[in-house]
Amino acid sequence: MHRRSTTFEMFTMERIFESPPKDVFEAWATPSAKARWFAGPKDGWKLKLREMDFTPGGAERLVGEWKNGQVSDYRAHYHDIVPEMRIVYSYSMHLDGQQISVSLATVVFQPEGTGTRLTLTEQGVFLDGYDHPGQREQGTSSLMDALVRSVER
């Protein structure tokens, strides 16, 4: 059993896309498009469950098993969706059934020439030492890089 603790982190990151906001937004909004970039690493992580209802009030869930047998469970709730402009959602992460964090995330899509500037801001609370500031930002940055590769392919 981990010692009880609460740690907070907030970070903002940006990515520039050559594609217009409509295309970048669709990579978040369409289940098949999101599945191309939003997942664990190809080596060492196996998909167990993927569900997505991309509507205000809708939910998303992604469960996967790591090589070491640990099961990660991402559970999101969409609060605000303005097509091609913004997405506001909260999510909790669970590891082997134990809740390890809760976050609020905002994604803003802005025209940048003929492309898009995506700005993601996340505020998180990390529980009981299972995750720590920096780790989530690094993981989110890797996902954003995968998003760029997926949209720009």
Per-residue pLDDT, 128:
85
* Residue 1 resides in a domain: no
Calculate mean pLDDT across residues 111-138. 90
- Structure pTM? 0.93
The residue range of the domain holding 37 is 6-152
> Which of the 8 DSSP states describes residue 128?
T
**What is the DSSP secondary-structure string of 32-74?**
HHHHTTSSS-TTTEEEEEEEE--STT-EEEEEEEETTS-EEEE
Q: Alpha-carbon distance 15 to 150, whole Å?
A: 13
Least Cα distance to 49 among 28, 36, 35, 68 occurs for 35
Q: Is the pLDDT of residue 2 over 70?
A: no
pLDDT tens, 15-70? 999 999 999 999 999 999 999 999 988 888 999 999 999 999 999 999 999 999 99
Domain count, the chain: 1
What spatial distance separates the first Cα and last Cα of the chain, rounded to whole Å? 44
The CATH number of the domain holding residue 81 is 3.30.530.20
Q: Is the pLDDT of residue 1 over 60?
A: no
Q: What is the mean pLDDT of residues 116-144?
A: 89
78 close to 58: Cβ distance less than 8 angstroms:
yes
Q: For residue 32, tell me if it sits in a domain.
A: yes
